[in-house]
Every structure is written in C-alpha cells, then in structure tokens.
Amino acid sequence: MGLSSAFATTRWSIVEAATSDDADARQFALGEFARCYRMPCEAWLRSKGWRLEQAEEIVQNFMVEVVLHRGLLGTAQRGQGALRRLVLHALRNHATDLARRGCARDRHEALAAAEGAAVATDRDPAFDLPWARVQLQEAVERVLRRSMGTRHEPAWRAFEQRVLLPAVHGTREPSLEEVARRAGLADAARAAVLVREMRVRVLRALEEVVSETARNPADVEAELAHVRACLGGSGE
C-alpha cells in the first residue's frame, strides 16, 4: 500500500504538541504518548526478564523522568527516523541505568535483566509487536468513532462482524449473507462492498496514526511496512 496523498506531508503531531508553548497541548501529547507506548514498553521489559511489578514501576519512572522531565520528545529531530526507535533506545538505556543504580526492588534480578536489555536492537519483536497492535487498535477506534451515527455506520457493523470480531475474539467468520442480515443490508453483494470500503478506511486511519510518530513520508512508509510485518499480514 502506498502512502496516500492525504499524508504526503506527515503530521508528527505528538512530537510537535509535546514541544509546544501551550501547556494544554503538551499535556495532551504526553497523555497520547503514554497511551500508545506504555504497553509496548512494559511488554519489552517483561521479555527481558523483569517481573510485572518491576516493569510497571520502570515504565512509570521512564514516563516521568525521561519523557517528561528530560523532554525525550523534544530530542526527536527530522531525519532521525520514527519515534518508535527513539523510545526503544531510550527505554533500554533507562532500564539499564536503573538496574546499575540498584533502583529496582531486586538488584540481582534487575542486573540480569539489564544484561539482556543491553543487547537489544532498534528492531525488537518484544517491543514492536505490542507497538504494532496498539497502532492498529487506535486506527480501528478512530474509524469506529467517525462511523457511529453517520452513513458509514452500516459499513462499520458489517466490517465488525465479518473482520474485526473474528480477528480479535476468534469467533467464527460469518457468511456475507449473515452479515447483510445482521447489519440490515440489501444482500451479500452490498455487504461485501461495504466491508471492503471499511477496510480501506481502517488502513487510511492506520496511515494517520503512524504519521503522528514519523516525520518524513519515507519513515511513515517504513513504519507502515513494519506494522504489517509485525502483524503478519496487511495490518488488518
């Protein structure tokens, strides 16, 4: 999938808002950052041997000390690639530093985990898969919000039944005839058309989400490809 013309100039909105002079904008950006990156950060730490409570404690410390007080997002610059890489690098360094300073509850276990963290690369499935899932979840939630109460609601209902629920909950994929009946559509052919249309809307929303954390169009393309690779397919 090529980057749509709507996002040929990427938005980089989280970084721009986080460095704004507007206090409300900064607070909103930091909240969005935490919502998108907390789970991948905790998952990565867990994969390196930290216990659940340690991972939660370290991520909270990371959000306050590194992201907020040290202004991590303000260090992101054009040409440095996507925000995902910056976050993973900073988290790895922070976790290792905390362990060496003995700030975790169990110093022996913390140092062992830090040894594993130190060999991580900028592409790490333990971080990237949860990150990709969060990007897709955010895209789906945006399409849901934009569809409810509009002419797109029947298309959303059809997409939800045919694609989303089977993918998320492992339920049986209903036939297009069933989808049409449940969504109040004319027939299976109409259901098929609407499911395809909503699929496109979700993919465009995914472009939008990714564009908020990658400044250059080439970086957005690369991040979208990485999302699809992490999810094992087209990102749907």
Residues 225 and 133 in one domain: yes
Distance CA(63)–CA(21), nearest Å, equals 20
Q: Tell me: the pLDDT tens digits for 97-138? A: 888 777 545 545 555 555 555 444 567 899 999 999 999 999
Residues 118 and 173 in one domain: no
Residues 65 and 36 in one domain: yes
Boundary-marking domain end, from 65, 95, 122: 122
**Model pTM score:** 0.80
In a domain, 101, yes or no: yes
Which of 134, 113, 110, 132 shows the shortest CA–CA distance to 232?
Answer: 132
Q: Tell me: the pLDDT tens digits for 146-194? A: 999 999 999 999 999 999 999 888 889 999 999 999 999 999 999 999 9
Q: In sequence order, which ranges of the chain are alpha helices (DSSP H)? A: 13-18, 23-47, 52-61, 83-101, 107-118, 125-147, 153-159, 165-169, 176-183, 188-211, 217-231
